Amino acid sequence: MRRMRTKGLMLAAVGGMLLMLAVAGNAQAQEWAKASGGDVPKSAHAVEKGVYAVKGDVQTYSGSATYPGVVVKGSDGAEIFTQASKTAVQDYHVYLPAARWCKGSATKAPKGAVVFGKDGGPLYFIRAKIDGNYCYGTFGAVIGAPYVYCGDMPQEAFSYEALCQ
């Protein structure tokens, strides 16, 4: 009788752990929503008026990789930021939660920074204030330095913030 009760408790504990993992997985999946052609889900929070953080797939030297970028609501699509270029894409994933910005360093992303992609290592969505305006870009160990775009050319951001959870 005692063995049966212990076995039942163990099964209940395992079932509870599996349920918690499923809920956690769904919560992470709900941080992103597929979109295209300049559309933005109603549940998304802007990083500034009409501008939303996204991630999208781009072609790189090593194949395809996912990088951070932005979509301006009502535009034709999103702009994805790599170190060397800004690429327009039609299909992307919009980050839904409200933004919280954390100060980063030139060599390390801040603790809690949201991973927006991967290309030889994690990539982060960043912003830097240049000439009074926020410019957005990417940072990751594979890139070596934080870069933002103010216009079409990337600029190294000596002082930046990353989007954090």
44 and 77, same domain (yes or no): yes
Q: Range of 150's domain? A: 32-164
Amino acid identity of residue 66, one-letter, is T
47 and 97, same domain (yes or no): yes
24 and 101, same domain (yes or no): no
Nearest CA to 130 out of 114, 147, 142, 110 is that of 147
Task: Indicate the DSSP class of residue 161.
Answer: E
Per-residue pLDDT of the chain (165 residues; tens, 9 = 90+): 555 454 543 434 434 433 333 333 334 558 999 999 999 999 999 999 999 999 999 998 878 999 999 999 989 999 999 878 899 999 999 999 998 999 998 888 899 999 999 998 999 999 999 999 999 999 997 778 899 999 888 999 989 999 999
In three-state secondary structure terms, 136 is strand
CB 96 within 8 A of CB 45: yes
DSSP 13-79: HHHHHHHHHHHHHHHHHTTEEEEETT---TT---SBTTEEEEEEEEEETTEEEEEEEEEETTSSSEE
Please, which residues bridge with residue 58 across strands?
A: 65
DSSP 113-129: BPEEEESSSEEEEEEEE
Integer Cα distance of 106 and 158 in angstroms:
6
Q: pTM for this one?
A: 0.80
Look-up of token digits 């991973």 = 115
71 and 18, same domain (yes or no): no
Domains of the chain: total: 2
50 and 123, same domain (yes or no): yes
147 and 81, same domain (yes or no): yes
56 and 7, same domain (yes or no): no
41 and 89, same domain (yes or no): yes
36 and 15, same domain (yes or no): no
Integer Cα distance of 131 and 115 in angstroms:
27
